[in-house]
Amino acid sequence: MNVPRPHDLLWGMPVSGLPVDAPRWAQDVLLSGQPVVVRRATCADGWVAVGLRGQGRAQRSGVLMRLAAIQCQQGPETLRWQAESPWPALQALASVTPVLDASGMAWGPTGGVGYQIATGIEVVHADSDLDLLLRTPQPLARAQARELLDILDCAPCRIDLQLETPAGAVALREWAGFARRVLLKSAHGPRLVSDPWAAMERAA
């Protein structure tokens, strides 16, 4: 099993792993066999930071899960959707798939769309955005980022794509802009950087 990465879905967390004051909905999520989502945070060896997803944005909870409890793991890059759907977010995913596949980089849906494809639980609705992850181990030129954003902005709903660098994630929309520094989300918290790919070297 691979080391869990942000946005991976994990199955196997027991209800006993929740804090004693966990809300009832969080217990129901685990009792029904739903997965948790890996969060971007640091924790002790043998643990991974995860989030539980209930009904609506009000039902979100961050907890820790033992790595030993993981029974199944699924990354965003394994999730695809090509069927017809009334929802713009799923239509958008089908429309951008050829473009992102052609990039040669690993990518996949996260957020509600990724969760629905992985679990079959219908959480996507008419106003859902499409959240995507693109793994960029090598620097992506800002001009190239602007070209990609122009394509994504033609989709039937808003698409928010995160570039996953070795140091953390930066929004494609920000990297395609003209600000000298952009917000990098890392396990140690967010910070402004001029080069999201060099940030790891400086941190070391």
Q: Which of 21, 28, 101, 129 is catalytic?
A: 129
The full DSSP string for 122-187 is ----TT--EEEEEE-SS---HHHHHHHHHHHTTSSS-EEEEEEETTEEEEHHHHTS--SSEEEEET
Q: Are 130 and 124 in contact (CB under 8 A)?
A: no
Q: Is 153 an annotated catalytic residue?
A: no
Cα gap 86→91, rounded to integer Å? 8
Residues in the chain, total: 204
131 has catalytic annotation: yes
Q: Round to whole Å and give the CA distance between 122 and 115.
A: 9
List the catalytic residue out of 131, 153, 160, 195. Answer: 131
Here the tokens at position 147 are 């070209």
**Residues identified as active-site:** 129, 131
